[in-house]
Amino acid sequence: MTTDDLLAATAIAVVLSGLGVAIGLFRKSGQARFELLAPAFELGTCRKIGPWGAALEGLFQGYSCRYIIQPASQNNPGGAVLRVAITGGVPWSAEMPGAGTRLMIRMGILQDLEIGEPDLDSSLRFAAGDENALRNLFGSTQVRASFRRITEGENLAGVRVTPHRFEIRWAPRNRDLDEDVGVLRQRLENAVGSVAACRYPPRFEA
């Protein structure tokens, strides 16, 4: 073996060793996160999704819920996503608008519906395929109250509903919030409370 071959083999060994250490640390961190956050779900129902523990799934008040931690990167602020599996959802969304979004609303590029609740209309951008269905939904005092509890949480980015999913997003990434079992339990309570107020039945598939 030449000197160049020996140096190349040594470099490869160092890289592989470092990769192995990194994988071990990721797995250890994921397991620690799982052990910390699992108690927020119903006893014995929580499991890790994927090898790194960045996503958890379990039951909460009879609904299947998936909680996903999204790391921050150069082009993404990261955050957390909570998905509640439902049936019969009518698609709509409510987003916390930034300056760019507000500009596109004024230009007529983006939809911004009013639900008839001044404080929610002023702070959120509502969109839906069926405007009347959205207004009817928020005509319920229970729905408005449950949704207001969601908006009171820190770092809310938006809510999106599809026929099979009620999803809440928080951004940017904040470890003190996203990996706190008490915060996660409150997020689950607010999400499932809003789902129940909207009368979306549970779906038992992720």
pLDDT of 206: 46
Strands laid side by side in the 63-70 sheet? 47-49, 55-60, 63-70, 79-85, 165-170, 156-162, 92-95, 125-128
| Mean pLDDT for the stretch of residues 101-124 | 83
Q: Which pLDDT belongs to residue 56?
A: 95
In a domain, 38, yes or no: yes
Residue 125 CA: distances (Å) to CA of 2, 65, 128: 66, 25, 10
Contact yes or no for 89/161 (Cβ under 8 A):
yes
Let me know if residue 181 belongs to a domain: yes
Q: Kindly state whether residue 203 falls inside one of the protein's structural domains.
A: no
Pairing assessment for the beta strands 55-60 and 47-49 based on DSSP bridges: antiparallel
pLDDT for 204: 73
pLDDT attached to residue 28? 52
- One-letter amino acid of 83: R
> 2-16, 23-37, 107-121, 158-172: lowest mean pLDDT where?
2-16
In a domain, 205, yes or no: no
User: Residue 162's beta-bridge partner residues?
Assistant: 165
Residue 89 lies in a domain: yes
DSSP element (H, E) containing 85: strand 79-85
pLDDT at 16: 45
Domain that holds residue 63: 3-197
pLDDT at 188 > cutoff 60: yes
**In one letter, which amino acid is 169?**
R
**Which residues 6+ apart lie within 8 Å of 93 measured at CB?**
126, 127, 128, 158, 159, 160, 161
Q: Examine residue 202 and state whether it is found in any structural domain, yes or no.
A: no
Q: Which two tokens stand for residue 93?
A: 């969304």
| DSSP H or E run through 64 | strand 63-70
Q: What's the structural domain count of the chain?
A: 1
